[in-house]
Each structure stands twice: as structure tokens, then as C-alpha cells.
Amino acid sequence: MFAVGLWGIDRGGMWRDEAVTFQVARRSLPQIWHLLHSVDAVHGLYYLLMHPVLAVHSGEVALRLPSLCAAAVTASLVAALGVRLARPRVGLWAGLLYAVTPMVGHFAQEGRSYALVAAGGAGGTLLFVRAVGGWSPGRGVSVGCGSMRAGCAVPRAPEGAPVGVSTQLPAPLEATGWGLYGGVVGCTVLLHEMAVFVLLAHGCALVLARVPRRVWWGWGRAAGGVMLVVVPLGLVSSGQAGQVAWLEPPGGGTVEGLLRGFAGPTLPVLGPYLLLIVLALCAPLARRGELSLPAVALPLLLVPPATLLAVSRHWPLFDDRYVLYALAGAPLLAAAGADRLAGAAARLWGRRTRHVDAYAVPCLGVVGVALVFVAQLPVLRADRDPERRPDNLAAVSAAAARRMDHGDPVLFLPALARRAAVAYPKGFRGAADIALREPGPVSGTLYGRETGPGELRRRLAGLDRVWVVAEPYALRPGWYPPAPAEQVKLALVREQFVPRAEFVRKGSVIRLYVRKTSAEAEAEAGAGAAGVRSVGGRRTCRPVTRCRGRGAPPVPPRPARP
């Protein structure tokens, strides 16, 4: 997992969400605390964890390294779950399958909290299994392979214990087990509140296992402690719900995309993967009082995504990264299905192949995972391209550096388009941000606080040209911003300036506007009075020169001031 994640980790550019982590985590602790009162409270703990990391070295690799380490830890925890709930070869296959999944590799190279949340979810699940079954073989509720008994190492009761009677850990040790479980899940929920659905998955596992009442009591106390943590965070983040206003109610395509993300984006991998999962679920999920691998992995795989999808039908909150931690259930079930298939083959061939089975079958499984990796290699390679992200702020900053002169005024439309200048200020060094009143660290915002409409009109009145760095949607005719300052920006640019050159980068547009001449203004006013309209009902303006790359036409020189 570490090798796959390290491959191409320095893509040469951050996208918008990583840029937020990069700029917020480098602020002082009081400034981070000030910011969380207005935005991004759900990521507060993650920013605090990243603060000392970026204090040591503020680079893109350092930004992504915690996610890479978390992904490697998660792969190890998935393997540990497979070993404890089944056998070593199941753990080996499950951990390797997790490591070569493209969705895992994607978030292993993201400077965001989702890989750490996945590690917390897997660690909490392992502690849950241990708390239910005790801290040594044969203690507490039996933890075994359920119905997949062929060759399964089932824990035995301690020597001298009455047959059919399960011994329990002493109460202090049992309380410690549930306390550790609650602490890990609580920290995971603080990293991202959507991780709370892992509690529902664990509750479903207890239902399937039909555990005794005392186990329910221990789990209930731990879950109650986690809820005491998540409720205040939820109340604060609900006041910042505008951050996810872009999410839409999920549809069939959302479910299909999640399925391909969890099991494999290509059909040669997806088909066998699903068949192995079905094979693992053919037998009864669990026996009474026993946590089997399917009883743990199936709720982990299905319950968090299904719950968030159901909620999002009425209150859109679903995004596949919010349930990345649920992916751990898929490789566990696929590995269990492969183990069941190997057991059936061993029974068919007889016990004469026992030694071959002990060594050859695990190796065959590793070869199978290697074939999965090779089949998905093009997907993994393409994901290393920075153009696969929604935007590339480094490219935007480089384009600005090539075209803007020292002292050139620049206007960001809307204000969040300033993120390229915040993440890569070198490209905008010397440019005058004419709308900015207070920078983000001082104002407790992500992108700074801008001046009012009146002051903005005064500042624009003395300019004969201005660079506009905009989100693509902001330059479309139908866009109308709700904020008064944004409305003034849009109105002044459209009424008093004409576009002369445009440089397009994925996710951003850099456009040069020059002030209209008297003849242009009179001609436009006359055309408007006469009702002259162009295609689409909008008045025409001078054609825009669209420039892409270094071979673009030169920007017209700055006209001399009177």
C-alpha cells in the first residue's frame, strides 16, 4: 500500500480542497480556531493534526504523506481483521486487495482527512471485534469463521473450562476494551462526522451475531460516549451547511459509481470480485453468539453508504469520499469468498494435497491480486495525472505569472477564485488585488474579506484595464451572485469593460478586460436603445481572443494614462 501510494505522489499541483488544507494548516493555532467558528468545523481536528506536519516542511509531499501512511495502516488493519475473523491467508488477500483498489490509491494521495478516517474506521472495527470476543483466544464471545469452517482456526476455550461455557474477561479489562473502542471511534468521528455511521454497522453485526446482553451493554456505553462527541460537532457544522450546498440527491449513477469504486472500475475485475462476495455470503452469516467475518464485513460495507444515501434523498449530503471507510468490508468479503472456493477445491481433491494447499493456495491468491493490480494499472496511472482532479491551481498560478505584469490589477470572481493566489502566491506576486480588504488569516475566513460595493466602484473607476480570475460558471450569462459585492463586480465588468484576451485552465478562467472607449460605449448604448440584440438576446461586444499555451497571441499593451 505504501509503495502504490508513494508512486506519483508529487503531482506538481494541488487542487482546491488540498489547497484549503495547505493554507489553513499553516496558520497559527488561534487563527485556525478563529476560522472554525465560521467554516470547516467538520475538518477542525484534521487541520490541527496537519499544523505540526506542515510546520516541519510545507510542501505537497508533506501535505499528502499523512494520508499515505494512514492508507498503509488501514491495509494492515484490514489484514488483521481477516486473520482474526478467518485465517492468515484471508487476511493476506484482503489487505492486498485493499491496497490495489484505485479508490484507495486516490485518497492515499489526497491532502484531506478521508484516508485517516478510513484508518480510524478499520481500527475501530478491529477493537470492536476484540471487545466482543475478548483479548485472547477463547475469551468472551466466540470469534471465528462462522459457516466457513473448512480449515478454519477456531478459538478454543481455556484448558480446564467446562465444555460449552465461555469464560469472560474480568470487568476492568472488558471495560478497557470498550473504552479503547469508544476512544478510537470518537477520534474518527471528530476527523469527519460522517464516520458516525460505523456505529450502525457495528450494531448490525451484534444483531446478526445475537450476542448476550452484557455485550450490548458494553457497546451501548461506548456508542453513547461517541454520540456525546458527535452531537456538538453536528450542531456546529449544521450552521455551516452552505459548504455542501453543491451536493445533489443521489441517483442510480451514484450507486453504480460507488460500486465500481469499492469493487473495481473495470468489468474484468468487477465481475469476479462480486462473484467472490456472493460466494462468501452463500452460507448463514453467523451463528448465535459468534462474530463471523461476513457478519462484520457485510454491515461495514453496506450500512454506512445505504444510510447516507437514504438521508441524501431528502437532505443531499452524499459523496463517496464520506464513506471511504466502508470500503474495507469489500476486500474482506472477497477474500473470504476466495477462501471458501479454495476450501471446496481442497475437499474435492482430497487430503493428499494438504501440504500443497498450505503453501500453494496463499501464493495463488497473491498471484490473483497481482493480476487485479495489472488489470487496474491504467486506472491507477491515469489517477496520477493532476488533470484528473477538478482543477490544478499550480497551472493557474503559472499562467498568471506569464501574463500579468507588476502592478496589474486583478479581480477574483467570485471571491473563492482567489484560492489559486492563496495556494501559489508566487504567480500573483506584484499584482494588486483590488477587492481584498482583509486577508484570510486576519479575517477568520478561507479567502479573505472583500471591500463593500461603494469602495469597489471607486477602486474600479480609475482603472483602464483589469485581469479577472474567475470560476467558469461566473462568466456565463445566466449566473447571478447573491452577494452584493459580487453583483457589483459582475455589473461593473460587463458595463464598463470589454474582454480582450482569455486564458483557460481547467477549473479557472483568466480574462483581460479593458475599459470601453467612448465610441464603443455610445455604439452599445445606441444598439440598446434601438433594440438591437445578438444571438441569445445579449448585446454583442468585441470578440475575445482565446489563448491556450505558450504560442498564444500577445496581450495588447497597456494604454498610456492621460
Is there a single domain that holds both residue 229 and residue 130? Answer: yes
Write down which residue in 383, 408, 431 finishes a domain.
383
Spatial contact of 266 and 375, defined as CB atoms under 8 Å apart: yes
Would 58 be classed as within a structural domain? yes
- Does 560 fall in a domain? no
Tell me the whole-structure pTM to 2 decimals: 0.86
Residue at 162 is within a domain: no
pLDDT at residue number 140: 36
Instruction: Count the domains in the chain.
Output: 2
Residue 173 and residue 136 share a domain: yes
Indicate whether 48 and 190 sit together in one domain.
yes
My answer on whether 352 and 226 are in the same domain is yes
Q: Cell triple for residue 365? A: 491468491
Domain extent, residue 108, equals 2-148+169-239+248-383
- Same domain for 10 and 98, yes or no, is yes
Q: Cβ distance 349 to 321 under 8 Å? A: no
Claim to verify: residue 228 and residue 203 sit in the same structural domain = yes
Residues 30 and 128 in one domain: yes
Task: Tell which of 383, 408, 427 closes a domain.
Answer: 383
Is residue 257 a part of any domain in this protein? yes
Give 554's contacts (C-beta < 8 A, 6+ positions apart).
none
Measured CA to CA, the distance from residue 248 to residue 243 in angstroms comes to 13
Classify residue 144: in a domain, yes or no.
yes
In a domain, 157, yes or no: no
Asked if 311 and 331 sit in the same domain, the reply is yes
Q: Are 74 and 103 in contact (CB under 8 A)?
A: no
Q: What's the confidence (pLDDT) of residue 142?
A: 38
Asked if the structure places residue 160 within a domain, the reply is: no
Q: Could you say which DSSP state residue 59 is in?
A: S
Residues 6 or more apart in contact with residue 540 via CB below 8 angstroms: 527, 534
CA pair distance 329, 78, nearest whole angstrom? 8
- In a structure prediction context, what are the per-residue pLDDT tens digits for the chain, which is 562 residues long? 999 999 999 988 899 999 999 999 999 999 999 999 999 999 999 999 999 999 998 899 999 999 999 999 999 999 999 999 999 999 999 999 999 999 999 999 999 999 999 999 999 999 999 999 853 333 333 334 444 443 344 344 344 433 333 445 555 667 788 999 999 999 999 999 999 999 999 999 999 999 999 999 999 999 999 999 999 999 999 888 888 888 999 988 999 999 999 998 988 999 999 999 999 998 777 777 789 999 999 999 999 999 999 999 999 999 999 999 999 999 999 999 999 998 888 777 765 555 556 788 899 999 999 999 999 999 999 999 888 888 899 999 999 999 898 889 999 999 999 999 999 999 999 899 999 999 999 999 999 999 988 888 898 888 899 999 999 888 888 888 888 888 888 888 888 899 988 888 778 899 999 998 766 556 665 655 554 444 334 333 444 444 444 444 444 454 444 3
Terminal alpha carbon distance of the chain: 64
Instruction: Tell me, yes or no, whether 216 and 75 share the same domain.
Output: yes
Residue 326 and residue 204 in one domain:
yes
Last residue of a domain, one of 360, 383, 406: 383
Residues 377 and 471 in one domain: no
* Residue closest to 388 by CA, chosen among 52, 193, 109: 109
Residue 301 CB neighbours (<10 A): 24
Cβ neighbours of residue 449 closer than 8 Å, sequence gap 6 or more? 436, 437, 438, 443
Distance CA 542, CA 145 (A): 73
Q: Is residue 221 part of a domain?
A: yes
Q: Are residues 87 and 23 in the same domain?
A: yes
* Spatial distance between the Cα atoms of 227 and 247, rounded to a whole number of angstroms: 25
* pLDDT for the residue 235: 92
